[in-house]
Chains A and B, each alone.
Chain A
Amino acid sequence: MSYVPNTDADRKKMLEVIGVSRFEDLLDAVPKEVRLQEPLKIPPPASELELFADLRKLSRQNVPVSVSNSFLGGGFYDHFTPAAADFIIRRPEFLTSYTPYQAEVAQGTLQIIYEFQSLICALTKMEAANASLYDGASAVAEAALMAAHATERKEILVTEGLNPNYLAVLETYVTGGAYQVRSIPLGPSGQIEPEMLKKAISEKTAALILQTPNFFGCLEEAKELEPIVHTVGAKFVAVFDPISLGMVTPPGEFNADIAVAEGQSLGVPISYGGPAVGLFAAKRELVRRMPGRIAARTTDAEGKIGYVLTLQTREQHIRREKATSNICTNQGLMATLSTVFMSLVGKQGLLQMARLSYAKAHYTAALLESKGFKRVYSAPFFKEFALELPVPASKVVSRLRKSNIVPGIDLGKYDKKRKNQLLIAVTEKKLRADIESLAEGMSFFRPQTGSGIAPERKLEAAGQV
């Protein structure tokens, strides 16, 4: 099956019209010595029936978050998605259309982008948003480059609380240019301390990239940090959690210049981390430096309201090497999905999702604390927190897997010094019973005080690890 409708009879007629006798004649520019003599080494074609059975089998070798009792987060979250959202993106009008280069036959896509931008501006209280970037990480990297260009400075300050995957991508992006990335450690509470920031920041700094809630779940004192950043003339880049903004201070309220995020929580399936959707918003004064596509409302010759892509002179197809970024595509379908999500969830729904996540995460933390576990940090948190364990987190993860519980992320994966820390995310989808079974499973590892034996040794002695 190749989805090619032309038959041999069609082909014959077409070659006649072209005026050649054989298909190979059309390849006269392809050097003969490199033309393939043998078929590609690819498995033979499979019928839809056989292939789908095969794919189903392959998919069953994976454990979906809906099947395990999962507390995984770290940037991708299992939040609620209303059923209606997927119905909309399955419509071929959205699924199989292209970038809206011909506005007159792309008003659906363009209006959705405009509404997406409007919803993101309302969410973040920022003045301008684009039509999405690839993911949270590329949004952070593009924000850093944009701040560097706007300030004509080379130093990017990040915090230890920045998602390590975002930091890794940022570092890849800046290896080409002459930029430096410097990191500020978190204080004992799990937050950036104003004094530490004052010491680290200078008139060489292009931007502070502050994630709040940070990777370890702690809310940062963004309002206190903001004047320090702006005093030296740097840009304040805030990395936010979109669901948190139902109840948490949005970046616009603490005067961020650029606000970026991973938008997956807004209705996009986790899908092993991609496709996701990068959210990107900024102050109005920066709009001409923003990467990516932007849709605008305008009118046609008769005064009818319509939408077009605008400010395209920033983009690579016009400015080429002088473009604001090399980004040419956006995450159109994912932006559509999140637009429908935001429209359905609405003003009250997001607040409820945020409050439920907050309540359940705090219940989880309290329950674990009652069993003697300690949070790594004391700062206020939203829906995710790091837990100190008496044994390596990897052991907890592999033991709880046997009870179909995925307790969280082993932070030792990102930092060896954190091998005894577990990052636990709790969304509104978790039921009290799910949380209690996590706490039950974790009880096995509860810290034991005063015995004089390290808990790990004791477990090993009992042959249980």
Chain B
Amino acid sequence: MNTIVEPTIFELSSPGRKGVSLPKTDVPEPERLPSQFERKGGLDWPEAAEIDVMRHFVRISVLNHHIEKGIYPLGSCTMKYNPKVNEQAARLPGFAEIHPEASEEDVQGALKLMHELAGFLAEIGGVDAVTLQPSAGAQGELVGLLLMRAHHGERKDRKRNQIIIPDSAHGTNPASVTTAGFETVQIASGSDGRVSLEKLKEALSERTAGMMLTNPNTLGLFERNILDICRFVHEAGGLMYMDGANLNALMGIVKPGDLGFDIVHFNLHKTFSTPHGGGGPGAGAVGVKKFLEPYLPNPRVEKIDKKGKDWYRFTESKKSIGRVHSAFGNFGVLVRAYTYIRTLGAEGLSEVSENAILNANYLFARIKDYYDVPYPGFCQHEFVLSGNRQKAKGVRTMDIAKRLLDFGVHAPTAYFPLIVPEALMIEPTETESRESVDYLADAFIQIAKEAETDPEKVKKAPHTTPVGRLDEVKAARDLDIAFHK
């Protein structure tokens, strides 16, 4: 018999119940809508009282893990603490209740905030100009690639249709390449987990439009040959794009622009502490060197002098690749990122990166003897282990991940990057204390021991969660994706 943790809101519906009160009309009744435009079949939405709705969502909410409940060491996803002042700022009526079609004079505060934030990001990224419009890192990638297309297009260099991507890259990179109409050329990583200069040289040609690189890469390693990589790609006529997913390891230490990148995206929701909201929203600002500025999405905010006073207004470029958002981007996320950067200042940003690196290396040092280490040496803000040793005992990485849930912590990123068998990609972030990193280390160690002594316990995990391991095959086969009575 199927048991239900909590029924759906549809099943809690009872005819005639109301969750809101709306006013009576204070204007005369209009003529009826012509019948061909009228909804015929009614609306099958639930009917529930406010208390029913509140209890339902509170009851299901407690089934979630979240950063305020316990450590969330998801490599590359950067689950750090989200300061509450950011939330309070984004909810100020002067930010939350302004309309994108408002006149310039009615949104001077918003424009100033956007202009200053773009300036901060340019400084952090070592770039000259920034667009805040992309809604997510992946949309930022698309923008970056379209900028490359525009750059080569203007030089009539249209045969450049290939983008080089290391095999350790995020899956969004090749997917963005396809969306932008380019072709992916994947290169194998070297034995040290970094870009192999030989393989890069082989891949470069007059068809190279550019290279997308995550730095530090998804193995948590800084590309130590980055200056050569950028030089080679530039000499071949290509542009360098930095996937900024891991930027929280670089702030105040190096600037991507100084390393030779022409384009870099910023995941405001990762690096700059916006809560992830169960999957979004994010924001994926993109910074570029001067020569690419004219192609950035329209519009952008500029500051001018208006009768001796600062004035902010929108500006458009004729060479722009166009818009990527209905309005100006995820403004609410921009407010949070702005608040965060202003709270930290330069020294706080450096402290973030240093502690992200310190926590990762500390955790790595504590657990490295218990798992296989594909790439030894110091890491940046994350590192990758392999569960190969445990696999030999019949315990897969997915089992280790599920067993971790029993400790009240989230699992690391599993089976990514693809080049490491049984990969576990772990990022503690800087907002974890030494004690909480120790707690996580102890959990990893205990699980490694259990894999030796009691593998069944790990394979049957999790044992303490609201539901056990769910049947994903059945989910895809029977495909129940919407409630029907």
Contact = CB atoms under 8 A, between A and B. Distances in A.
B416 interface: yes
A178 B268 CA distance: 32
A104 B402 contact: yes
Interface in B82-118: 82-83, 85, 87-90, 92-103, 105-110, 112-113
A93 B64 contact: yes
Interface stretch (A182-190, A290-298, A446-454, A457-465): A290-298
A300 B479 contact: no
Nearest to B223: A29
B327 A274 contact: yes
A51 B180 CA distance: 40
B332 A275 contact: yes
B113 A29 contact: no
Interface string B181-214: 1101000000000000000000000000000000
A127 B33 contact: no
B308 interface: no
Contacts of B273: 3
B278 A380 contact: no
Interface in B314-334: 321-333
B467 A134 contact: no
B159 interface: no
B102 A72 contact: yes
Contacts of A91: 58, 61
Interface string A275-317: 1100000000001000001111111111111111011000111
A316 B278 contact: no
A165 B326 CA distance: 5
Nearest to A336: B278
A428 B8 contact: no
Given A270-B99, A332-B277, A332-B280, A45 B345 contact: yes
A216 B141 CA distance: 33
B344 interface: yes
Interface string B415-446: 01000000000000011111000000000000
Interface in B287-328: 297, 321-328
B265 to A, nearest CB: 13
A329 B137 contact: yes
A39 B350 contact: yes
B334 to A, nearest CB: 8
A273 B65 contact: no
A287 B475 CA distance: 14
Contacts of A64: 93-94, 96-98
Given A65-B98, A353-B22, A297 B107 contact: no
Contact of A172 (B41, B88, B102, B297): B297
A77 B251 CA distance: 39
B468 A301 contact: yes
Contact of B138 (A316, A333, A380): A316
A84 B329 CA distance: 26
A227 interface: no
A351 interface: yes
Contacts of B177: 321
B154 interface: no
A270 B324 CA distance: 18
Interface residues of A, number: 211
A300 B469 contact: yes
Contact of B481 (A68, A163, A296): A296
B369 interface: no
B370 interface: no
Interface string B244-261: 000000011111001100
B59 to A, nearest CB: 9
A51 B342 contact: yes
A274 B100 CA distance: 9
A74 B101 CA distance: 8
B53 A340 contact: yes
B181 A178 contact: yes
A305 B175 CA distance: 33
A2 B347 CA distance: 9
B6 interface: yes
Nearest to A272: B331
Interface string B446-485: 0000000000000000100111111110111011111100
B43 interface: yes
Nearest to A334: B281
A352 interface: yes
Nearest to A142: B179
Contacts of A14: 358-359, 361-362, 434
B208 to A, nearest CB: 16
Contacts of B106: 62-63, 68, 401, 406
A437 B117 CA distance: 38
Contacts of A351: 43
B164 interface: no
Contact of B54 (A15, A73, A88, A294): A88
Given A62-B110, A343-B46, A332 B326 contact: no
A394 B148 CA distance: 37
Nearest to A39: B346
B171 interface: yes
A108 B138 contact: no
B388 interface: no
A2 B348 contact: yes
Interface stretch (B69-77, B231-239, B389-397): B69-77
Interface stretch (A199-207, A230-238, A241-249): A241-249
Given A107-B467, A273-B326, A329-B281, A304 B346 contact: no
A134 B108 contact: no
Interface string A345-361: 11111111101101110
Interface stretch (A112-120, A153-161, A368-376, A384-392): A112-120
Nearest to B276: A98
Contact of B330 (A102, A275, A355, A359): A275
B277 A336 contact: yes
B224 interface: yes
B372 interface: no
A97 to B, nearest CB: 4
B120 to A, nearest CB: 6
Contact of A100 (B50, B124, B279): B279
A329 B138 contact: yes
Contacts of B221: 29
Contact of A363 (B6, B28, B138): B28
B468 A109 contact: no
Contact of A219 (B37, B99, B146, B433): B37
A246 B39 contact: yes
Nearest to B341: A42
Interface string A65-76: 111101011111
A387 B207 CA distance: 52
Given A92-B68, A298-B472, A346-B20, 4 more contacts: A80-B20, A114-B8, A115-B9, A344-B50
9 closest pairs, A vs B, by CB? A273-B327, A333-B277, A59-B94, A61-B109, A332-B279, A176-B181, A273-B100, A45-B345, A64-B97
16 contacts: A14-B359, A23-B358, A30-B253, A34-B259, A51-B343, A121-B482, A137-B323, A138-B135, A169-B322, A169-B325, A173-B324, A296-B480, A316-B138, A346-B45, A348-B47, A428-B23
